[in-house]
Amino acid sequence: MRIDAASALVAGGASGLGAATVRRLHAAGATVTIADLNAEKGEALAAELGDRAAFAACDVTREDQVQAAVEAAGELRIAVCCAGIGWAEKTAGKRGPHAFEPFETVVRVNLIGTFNLLRLAAAAMLAGEPDADGERGVVITTASIAAYDGQIGQIAYSASKGGIVGMTLPAARDLAAAGIRVCTIAPGLFDTPLLAGLPDEARDALGAQVPHPSRLGRPEEYGDLAAHIVENPMLNGEVIRLDGALRMPPR
């Protein structure tokens, strides 16, 4: 599918991987709706990009807000979900069992929020006309290598991201006849706001764990892969690890 002149929606698009994807799609000629909870950053990015960029306040767990963002995007062709949160706690320990509410919240935001965007974006794409190649749209979701290599204390995060991995193939099969593709990117260690508060030594040590290149991933590398998925019609129903061959140790 061509990015140029297409309408795109990026949830979690105000910072990190999402912002890099917004920039990449916009640079390729797309009209991009930046959907995020952070209005200050989202509006600033839209203002910076200027024409073909707009902000929509959006909590991915809210049906009404996601629907409004989808509608704001117009004839939606590309949807990318980068919205997500983390939580660190063991299944059980000296303090007792893992708290129930944080687990539920992580799953609700990461997994259910992703499903919410996926289903509403796909419904909007179904209403559109196929392009010359028979495609109506592409949906890209974001998992994590924690879906496969969950570390100590990552049970909530890993469960939520594993669910996204599990949705990918059936969603792609559900939508294939309509010309809508679904793929997932599973990033490794990336230089995002989540790691920004760490000291340089700690960030360097994390990057050194990556076999090659031995550094943290750059958000624009995620954006480049997202753009390639959109443009490559044979990428469908696939989860792509973007991790420099990293396999996370237990801790």
Token pair of 238, please?
A: 């696939």
Measured distance CA(190)–CA(128) in Å, rounded: 35
Asked if residues 124 and 76 have their Cβ atoms less than 8 Å apart, the reply is yes
Buried b (16+ CB within 10 A) or exposed e, 88-120: ebeeeeeeeebeeeebebbbebbbebbbbbbeb
Instruction: For residue 167, count CB atoms less than 10 angstroms from its CB and return exposed for 0-12, middle for 13-18, buried for 19 or more.
Output: buried
3-class state of residue 43 by DSSP: helix
Asked if residues 23 and 49 have their Cβ atoms less than 8 Å apart, the reply is yes
Looking up tokens 């992580």 gives: 106
Instruction: For residue 170, count CB atoms less than 10 angstroms from its CB and return exposed for 0-12, middle for 13-18, buried for 19 or more.
Output: exposed
- For the annotated catalytic residues, the residue numbers are 157
